[in-house]
Chain A
Amino acid sequence: MDTARTILLVDDDPTLSTVLAAVLRSGGYTVLTAASGAEALELLRSQSVSVVISDLHMPKMDGVALIAQITLNQLTANARPIPAVLITGSGEFEDIHANAPGVDAILIKPIVRDTLLRTLERLLASVQDKDIA
Chain B
Amino acid sequence: MQPPTTLLIVDDDVALCAAYAAVLQTSGYTTLCANTADQALRILAEHKEVAIVMTDLHLPQVSGLALLSQIKAAGHSVPSLLFTGAGEFTHASARAAGVSAFLVKPIASPELLRVVSAVLVQNDLAR
Contact = CB atoms under 8 A, between A and B. Distances in A.
9 contacts: A71-B15, A71-B19, A72-B20, A72-B23, A72-B109, A73-B109, A75-B16, A79-B106, A100-B22
Given A72-B19, A101-B15, 18 more contacts: A62-B26, A64-B22, A65-B23, A65-B26, A68-B109, A71-B19, A72-B20, A72-B22, A72-B112, A73-B107, A75-B13, A76-B16, A76-B83, A77-B105, A77-B106, A81-B15, A101-B18, A101-B21
B23 A68 contact: yes
A78 B86 CA distance: 12
A101 B107 contact: no
A119 interface: no
Nearest to B56: A76
B93 to A, nearest CB: 20
A79 B19 CA distance: 14
Contacts of A71: 15, 19, 22
A101 B26 contact: no
Contacts of A76: 16, 83, 105-107
Contact of A102 (B19, B105, B106, B109): B19
A101 B105 contact: no
B108 interface: yes
Q: Is the interface of B mostly helix, strand, loop or mixed?
A: helix
A81 B108 CA distance: 14
B105 A69 contact: no
Interface string A54-76: 00000001101100110111011
Contacts, number: 53
Nearest to A77: B106
Interface string A102-119: 100000000000000000
Closest 7 pairs (CB-CB, A-B):
A77-B106, A68-B22, A72-B19, A76-B105, A65-B26, A101-B18, A69-B109
A71 B15 CA distance: 9
Contacts of B106: 73, 76-79
A101 B15 CA distance: 7
Nearest to B108: A73
Nearest to B17: A101
